[in-house]
Amino acid sequence: MVVGDFAEEVDTLIIGSGPGGYVAAIRAAQLGQKVTIVEKDAVGGVCLNVGCIPSKALIEAGHRYNHASEGAPDMGIATEKATLDFSKLQEWKSGIVQKLTGGVESLLKANQVEVVKGEAYFSDENAVKVSTDEYSSQTYKFKNCIIATGSSPIELPNFPYSDRVINSTGALSLSEVPEHLVVIGGGYIGIELAGAYANLGAKVTVLEGEKRILTGFEKQMAQLVQRNLKKKGVNIETQAFAQSVEETDNGVTVKAEVKGEEKTFEGDYLLVSVGRKPNTSELGLEQIGVEMDDKGYIQVDKQCRTNKKNIYAIGDIVPGPQLAHKASYEGKIAAEAISGEASAVDYLGIPMVVFSEPELASVGYTEKEAKDAGFDVVAAKFPFQANGRALSLNDANGFMKLVTRKEDGLVIGAQIAGPNASDMIAEAGLAIEAGMTAEDIAMTIHAHPTLGEITMETAEVALGTPIHIAK
C-alpha cells in the first residue's frame, strides 16, 4: 500500500548529489530556482564517499608510510621500519569523508536546497516518483530536471564481486593490508590503488590487457609510472587476459592468459578495475523517450540538455571522461542553461590526472592529437631535473610538455609527469581557457624556487629562448 502521494512542485529537481548534482543544485539555487535533490545513498555521491577523496587519502597515507619506512639515504636520513595501524588509517580516512560530506550538507541547507532520501523513477516527462521506503513514495512535479546519477564499477561475468573479489569501493574499505593484491586493469583507478597498497607494504600484481598501462596518457608518461611501480616490486603483466578465479576463505587464485601463455596468480584479494558503467538503467528513461546509446549513456547537447527540452544530464552518465570535475562543470552549465543563460560546454580545458608516482596530468591537446586535428604545432619539453625545487624535494623524475600553435604560440595543450603535476596542470588549463600564448606564460614572473617555474621554463623552450637548459 502506498501512503498518501500528493504531488509536490519544484522548479528544478536533481537526481543524485555527487559532485555534479550538488554543484548543480547550489548554482541553480543561486540563480533563484527552487531546488530539490533526490539521493538514494549518501550526500556527496561516489566521489566524496567511496571514490576520489578516500582514495587520495589512502594514497597519501601510502606515501608517508613508505617514506617513513625507507628514510632518505641520499639526504643522510635513516629510519627504522615504520609501523602501521591500518584500522587507525581507515578511521582517519573516514573522518575526512565525514567532514566533507557534512560540509556539502551544510552548503545545500545554506542555499535552501531540499534533500530527499529515496530512489527516483520517471512517471512522465514532468514528474518522478520517489520511493522513500518499501511502503511509501512521493511524486515530484518539476519544470526542469537534471539527472546526475553517476556510475558504478563494471562487474565481469567470470569475476562476480564477493568478499575476496572486490571493486574499487571494496579496495578502499579493507580491514587489512593484503599480503598480495591482484589487480585486473591498468587504468587510472587500478594503478592508483596498486601504488597505494604497494607503498603500504603489499605485494601487487597488475594484469592489463593492452600492451601498456595507462593508455589514456602518452607512452613516455606511462613508462615513468611503470618503472616506478616495478622498483616497488609491483609485477605488471601486459597483454594479460584474466580467465577465471577460484576463491577460498583466505584468498584467490586467478588464471590468466599472458601473451598467449597460461599463468596462475595467487593473492589475498582480487581487485577488478576495468571501468565504470552509467547508472541509467533503473530510472524509467526508456518509457519517457530519453535518448541513450547502446551502453546506456544519455545523449545531450552543448548545454547538457537531452532530447526532452526540460530534462538535462551531467557527469558519468553522458559521453566523455568520467571525472568528478567534469560533472561539476557540466552541473553549472545545466543550471545556468535552465536559467536562460547562454552557457555551453567546452571540454578542451578539462584536465585529466592520475595520482600515481610520478603524478600524471594532461589538459587540451596532446602533440599527436593536435597534429591529427590539423594544427602545425611546437611541442616544447622541460625536465624536472633542471628545476631547483624538484631537486631539493629529491623527486626530479619527470617532465612537462607544452603544445603551442606554431603560427602564434597559442597554448592548446600540456602534459606533466612529475611531483605535484595535479596542481601544476591548473596554470596550463587557465592558459588554454584564456587564450594565452607561450609568451604570456614566459613573461609571467614565477616565484623561485618552485615547481611552477617549470611551466615558465617550458614556455621559454617553446619560444626558442630557454634559460636553464641548452637550446
Residue 33 makes CB contacts below 8 A (sequence gap 6+) with 11, 12, 144, 335, 338, 339
- The single residue listed with the C-alpha cell 596542470 is 425
Contact 124, 288 (CB under 8 A): yes
Q: 3-state DSSP helix/strand/coil percent for the chain, to nearest 5?
A: 35, 25, 40
Candidates 111, 108, 118, 114; CA nearest to 139 is 118
Distance CA 101, CA 18 (A): 10
Residue 462: in which H helix or E strand, if any?
helix 453-463
For this structure, is 448 an active site residue?
yes
Which residues does residue 276 pair with via DSSP β-bridges, in sequence order? 153
- In three-state secondary structure terms, 336 is helix
The active-site residue out of 63, 67, 446, 448 is 448
- Kindly list the distances between the CA atom of residue 360 and the CA atoms of 172, 323, 381, 416, 420, in Å, as whole numbers in the listed order: 21, 15, 15, 6, 9
Supply 241's cell numbers: 587476459
Contact 398, 335 (CB under 8 A): no
Distance CA 455, CA 445 (A): 11
Contact 105, 115 (CB under 8 A): yes
Contact 461, 383 (CB under 8 A): no
Contact 123, 141 (CB under 8 A): no
Q: Which positions are catalytic? A: 448
